[in-house]
Amino acid sequence: MKITLAGSSHWHAEMHLDAARFYSAEIAGVWDEDPGHAHAFAARHDLPFIANFTEILSSPPDVILLMGHPSAVPARARAIIEAGIPLILEKPAASHTRELMALRDFTTQHQAFVAVPLPNRFGSAVTAFDRLRREGRAGAVAHCHFRLVNGPPQRYIADGVAWIVDPAVGGGGALRNLGIHGVDAALSLATGRLDLKTVSIANRIHPGPVEDHALLVLEDEAGALFIVEAGYTFASMRPGGDFEWRIVSANATLVDHGDHAMCATLDDVAIVDLPAELPATRYRLFMRDTLDRLARKAPPSVSIKDYAAAMSLIDAAYEKAGP
């Protein structure tokens, strides 16, 4: 399967390239708004360089992985969808949720394949819990905690994407950028509507225009609690930072720290280790699922509708937190 990487200057471009190569996909070419960056990226990885975006559409691959500045991504995504090319849409795809909603509706109108990389949907704890549910062994969800705390916000300035910490462009701070993974996890596991019980958004260590730490407490219609924690307060630039995905139900406790994971179940008195996958390489799991679904002509596991739903809930959290 041929993939074009459109947006090499995105900080996830290397992760997506690793994921595509891990599953032996062919990279049809590399493009970026900055031709110099794309040329250097292509040369470094021995890949074809694409100078103009129109070249991608005139000689389309099997799927385009679109990444870039939120102000430019929506129009390029529409062009890809209108051309009938399957799309992997990296975040952030818009500065404001209303723009994302419009793109969601455009996707629906064209019945387009648009997958969104929220790779923790494929982590060990989540997939093991899904298996228990299919077997009728999970029981009701009691509470979950999704924590993703990375290093200081200066990491994005060093990566050449300082706009991610500009609220007018990135749309927010740690909650929007990192917390979206936890919010999506809560939405995917919740029964009915999620109610925001507690919102804490602040600059606890790093002063700046966006928050460096956020914590949400949500409750679904069945009474299950979901805690989402996101931040730039981990005292290291190590990939993955401080990561924990915890799911607790009537019959199971599942904990995923990235480098190790476990599942305890009451009905068989078992505690077992789960396959581990580092957060930084979890994009391989997303890529495998996406390529498989493209081959089967099945819809994506994580769609732009899921992305928009998470963005809307984050909007509500910022509104509740106030200025």
For 234-288, write each residue's pLDDT tens digit.
999 988 899 999 999 999 999 999 999 999 999 999 999 999 988 888 999 999 9
Q: How far apart are CA 100 and CA 95, in angstroms?
A: 8
How do strand 225-231 and strand 141-149 relate by DSSP bridges?
parallel
Residue 284 dihedral angles phi and psi, to the nearest 5°:
-60, -40
CATH of 2-115, one of 3.40.50.720, 3.30.1280.10, 3.40.50.300, 3.20.20.20: 3.40.50.720
* Helix axes of 97-109 and 73-82: crossing angle, nearest 10 degrees: 0
Sheet with 225-231, strands from edge to edge, namely 195-202, 213-219, 225-231, 141-149, 242-249, 252-256, 261-265, 270-274
Residue 89 dihedral angles phi and psi, to the nearest 5°:
-105, 105
Is residue 186 within 8 A of residue 228, CB to CB? The reply is: yes
CA dihedral 162, 166, 172, 176 (to 10 degrees): -20
Topology of domain 120-279+304-321, CATH: Dihydrodipicolinate Reductase; domain 2 (3.30.360)
Q: Which helix (H) or strand (E) holds 229?
A: strand 225-231
**pLDDT value at residue 240:** 84
**pLDDT value at residue 184:** 98
Per-residue pLDDT of the chain (323 residues; tens, 9 = 90+): 999 999 999 999 999 999 999 999 999 999 999 999 999 999 999 999 999 999 999 989 999 999 999 999 999 999 999 999 999 999 999 999 999 999 999 999 999 999 999 999 999 999 999 999 999 999 999 999 999 999 999 999 988 899 999 999 998 899 999 999 999 999 999 999 999 999 999 999 999 999 999 999 999 999 999 999 999 999 999 888 999 999 999 999 999 999 999 999 999 999 999 999 888 889 999 999 999 999 999 999 999 999 999 999 999 999 999 87
* Helix axes of 97-109 and 304-321: crossing angle, nearest 10 degrees: 160
pTM (predicted TM-score): 0.96
**pLDDT value at residue 238:** 87
**pLDDT value at residue 280:** 85
Q: How far apart are CA 17 and CA 283, in angstroms?
A: 10
Q: Where in the chain is the domain with CATH 3.40.50.720?
A: 2-115
**pLDDT value at residue 317:** 98
Instruction: Take residue 196 and report the two structure tokens written for it.
Output: 């925001």
